[in-house]
């Protein structure tokens, strides 16, 4: 079977497509024919050796997939060949076939296509966990989403609205902000052309925002933190801009603001029941039409490295997916 291979940490251009043997599932694993594999920012970091997880080389990137079960290990009880599933695999997804742990696999919900299934779990679970479990976002509060047209950003807009918040989307172009409006943002800030702190203060009549969702870091975090209201919460999601900001802590003291780290992957190990409850919530919102992942582009497996380069180069709106078997 064909797979995208990272032979050495380094430039995304160095990724190659190779024919490798089909993997064999362990006792609690499934072998899945991959129908769609979503591209996430950590894929770009991982192949460059810049992510907190550094898989042994060589490896195939691709963290979340949907597809059809081909075979199951001896101890797998709830899945069988032919089932349509979604799986969080961490790596291995940009391939015709992929192994998944049964514990991290779920049935593809009725009415959901493979692309949507692949694009749902990582970003929407991250944003729901961040806003509900870490940020305690309340109905009527104001939420600012940075990098709002990206994968986790679009999910944060939709979930913020579903939780009853007023959502201010912040992004680098009017084109990206138009998408944010389409998925429900109430107001927008173009942080390439507008002063982020001043614009948030203007939009909140000087009160400031209650929660900032920050997957970007770099030069955007401090002005957003300065625009947080009394008891505001800054949710630290990631650093897509590259730099990890160093924040003067008096900004937390002055308005009793909180700076809250979010690590969805590890949170599922610490609170599996909470994770399951969040998945049920997402399925219910999907069934009701409240959330709809935006898949803006498809790539063949041969072009998977281009897809990873595109997300690294700030060119993606919503989610993009690789379709290895079409």
Ligand X SMILES: NC(=O)c1ccc[n+]([C@@H]2O[C@H](COP(=O)([O-])OP(=O)(O)OC[C@H]3O[C@@H](n4cnc5c(N)ncnc54)[C@H](OP(=O)(O)O)[C@@H]3O)[C@@H](O)[C@H]2O)c1
Minimum distance between the CB of residue 27 and ligand X, rounded to whole angstroms?
29
314 binds ligand X (CB under 6 A): yes
Residue number closest to ligand X, CB atom: 150
Minimum distance between the CB of residue 307 and ligand X, rounded to whole angstroms?
11
Distance of CA 44 to the CA centre of its chain: 13
278 binds ligand X (CB under 6 A): no
Minimum distance between the CB of residue 271 and ligand X, rounded to whole angstroms?
13
259 binds ligand X (CB under 6 A): no
Q: Which is nearer to ligand X, 181 or 207 (CB)?
A: 181
Q: Which is nearer to ligand X, 167 or 229 (CB)?
A: 167
Minimum distance between the CB of residue 146 and ligand X, rounded to whole angstroms?
7
Q: Which is nearer to ligand X, 36 or 240 (CB)?
A: 240
Q: Which is nearer to ligand X, 172 or 204 (CB)?
A: 172
Q: Which is nearer to ligand X, 69 or 149 (CB)?
A: 149
40 binds ligand X (CB under 6 A): yes
* Number of amino acids touching ligand X (CB under 6 A): 29
Minimum distance between the CB of residue 65 and ligand X, rounded to whole angstroms?
15
Range 168-187, binding ligand X (CB under 6 A)? 171-172, 176
Minimum distance between the CB of residue 228 and ligand X, rounded to whole angstroms?
19
């Amino acid at each position: 079977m064909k797979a995208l291979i990272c032979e050495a940490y380094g430039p995304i251009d160095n990724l190659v497509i190779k024919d490798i043997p089909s993997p064999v599932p362990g006792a609690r694993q499934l072998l899945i024919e991959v129908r769609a594999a979503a591209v996430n920012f950590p894929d770009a970091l991982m192949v460059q050796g810049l992510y907190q997880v550094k898989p042994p080389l060589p490896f195939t990137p691709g963290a979340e997939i949907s597809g059809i079960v081909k075979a199951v290990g001896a101890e797998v009880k709830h899945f069988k060949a032919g089932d349509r599933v979604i799986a969080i695999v961490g790596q291995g997804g940009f391939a015709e076939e992929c192994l998944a742990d049964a514990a991290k696999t779920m049935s593809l919900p009725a009415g959901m296509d493979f692309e949507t299934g692949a694009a749902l779990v990582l970003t929407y679970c991250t944003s729901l966990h961040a806003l509900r479990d870490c940020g305690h976002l309340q109905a009527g509060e104001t939420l600012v989403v940075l990098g709002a047209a990206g994968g986790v950003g679009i999910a944060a807009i939709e979930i913020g609205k579903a939780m009853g918040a007023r959502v201010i989307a912040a992004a680098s172009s009017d084109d990206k902000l138009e998408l944010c409006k389409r998925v429900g943002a109430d107001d927008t800030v173009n942080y390439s052309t507008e002063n982020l702190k001043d614009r948030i203060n203007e939009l909140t009549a000087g009160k400031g925002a209650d929660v900032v969702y920050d997957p970007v870091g770099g030069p955007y975090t401090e002005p957003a933190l300065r625009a947080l209201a009394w008891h505001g919460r800054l949710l630290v999601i990631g650093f897509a801009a590259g730099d990890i900001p160093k924040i003067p802590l008096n900004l937390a003291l002055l308005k009793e603001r909180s700076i809250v780290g979010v690590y969805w992957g590890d949170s599922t190990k610490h609170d599996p029941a909470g994770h399951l409850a969040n998945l049920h919530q997402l399925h219910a919102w999907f069934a009701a039409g409240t959330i709809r992942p935006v898949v803006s582009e498809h790539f063949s497996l041969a072009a998977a490295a281009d897809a990873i380069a595109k997300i690294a180069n700030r060119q993606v709106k919503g989610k993009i997916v690789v379709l290895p078997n079409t």
